[in-house]
Amino acid sequence: MQVAVDSSVLVALLDPRDHWRDRSLALERALLDAAVTPIYFDCVAAEAVSAAVRRLHEKGRGAEVPKLLHTPNERVPPKRLTWILPDVPDVYRGALALMRASRGELNFNDALIALACRKRTIPTIASFDADFDTIEWLTRLESPEDVSRAMMHGRSPPTLDWGGICAYVY
């Protein structure tokens, strides 16, 4: 089973003093113990690095930025990234349609992630962002218990019934 990893989890894995660090480590451990394949999208890595650096500056921890910027290459080397940003011209209208369908709960990046999961039949996302709960084809995992439930019940890949969104995608 594959699980996309969202920036809300990855930021905490990059910054040892992040508020969500313990929850992220526990979730990561549960995914690894379940032999799940974590999928890291390029837009998630970019967003996570940007958010982590911004938070360091906001908290007066700017001196820690150089060390933090070494962490992404160690945790998720570029060869492990799944490159979806080149798809943006093809999915742009679909991402906007998904944002519209969620009444603005999803931002563009989250809509892009959801569509990338859909295209790649990735049924689950590790995230603390409840906005993903609006996506019918994704199951959000935010705790080790969620991982256990997903493994027990199995999660079939999303169907290709896109509803009103399909007219805008690919």
Digit-coded pLDDT (tens) for 82-137: 999 999 999 999 999 999 999 999 999 999 999 999 999 999 999 999 999 999 99
Report d(CA 4, CA 9) in Å as an integer.
10
How many domains in the chain? 1
Write out the residue range of the structural domain in which residue 37 sits: 2-84+122-158
Tell me if 136 is assigned to some domain. Answer: yes
Please, are residues 158 and 35 in contact by the beta-carbon 8 Å criterion?
A: no
- Which H/E stretch holds residue 3? strand 2-5
Report d(CA 161, CA 157) in Å as an integer.
12
Q: How sure is the predictor about 166, in pLDDT bands with cuts at 50, 70 and 90?
A: very low
Tell me if 114 is assigned to some domain. Answer: no
Tell me if 96 is assigned to some domain. Answer: no
Residue type, 109: N
Q: Which pLDDT belongs to residue 154? A: 65
Question: Does residue 158 carry a pLDDT above 80?
Answer: no
Tell me if 49 is assigned to some domain. Answer: yes
Report d(CA 26, CA 38) in Å as an integer.
14
Tell me if 117 is assigned to some domain. Answer: no
Tell me if 137 is assigned to some domain. Answer: yes
Indicate whether this model's pTM tops 0.85: yes
Tell me if 95 is assigned to some domain. Answer: no
Tell me if 133 is assigned to some domain. Answer: yes
